[in-house]
Amino acid sequence: MKILADINIPYIKDYFSGAGELVLKAGRSMTPRDVKDADILLVRSVTLVNKDLLCNSCVRWVGSVTTGSDHLDTQWLDRAGITWCTARGFNAPPVADYVISVIAALSQKRILNKNLLRVAVIGVGRIGQRVARYLQCLGHEVLLCDPLREKIDSTFDHHPL
């Protein structure tokens, strides 16, 4: 099995060197010639994965180490029978931790009065939900705002989870 991977994916050799023939190439410069005889393609968001790149290749699985998929032509991949996946949600814990750390630092420097803190979380996806839960656990009043979620979920509540 041949795996073509972006050389800039952290720890790529550690994770995949024993899984087959691992070929590393900069994601920005991958060409159809590079992927032609690869079975698996591992990319970051800098590689546009579409028909132009994969049309005459052996690739049957594409993995992206990013949360988004806008660099993947998922409709074409589905039609071509190529399985794909992203690292959706992997960054939610550290981002939520960072937000809470900033709030704590501002409180410690007396820029925020932690006793009077009322917080609005705008966007209540994976990260927003975590931030809201953390803030609740710390005793803060939390209001939720997510217009997109509200459109599709008639039970959406502006008060915490």
Q: What is the mean pLDDT of residues 28-53?
A: 98
Tell me the C-alpha distance between 134 and 144, whole Å: 13
pTM of the predicted structure, to 2 decimals: 0.73
Q: Quick check: 127 and 95 in contact, CB under 8 A? A: yes
Q: What is the mean pLDDT of the segment spanning 45-59?
A: 97
Whole-angstrom Cα distance, residue 74 to residue 62? 10
Mean pLDDT of 4-28: 96
For 63-99, the pLDDT digits (tens) are 999 988 999 999 999 999 999 999 998 889 999 999 9
User: In the predicted model, is pLDDT for residue 122 greater than 90?
Assistant: yes
A 10 A CB-CB count for 82 gives 19
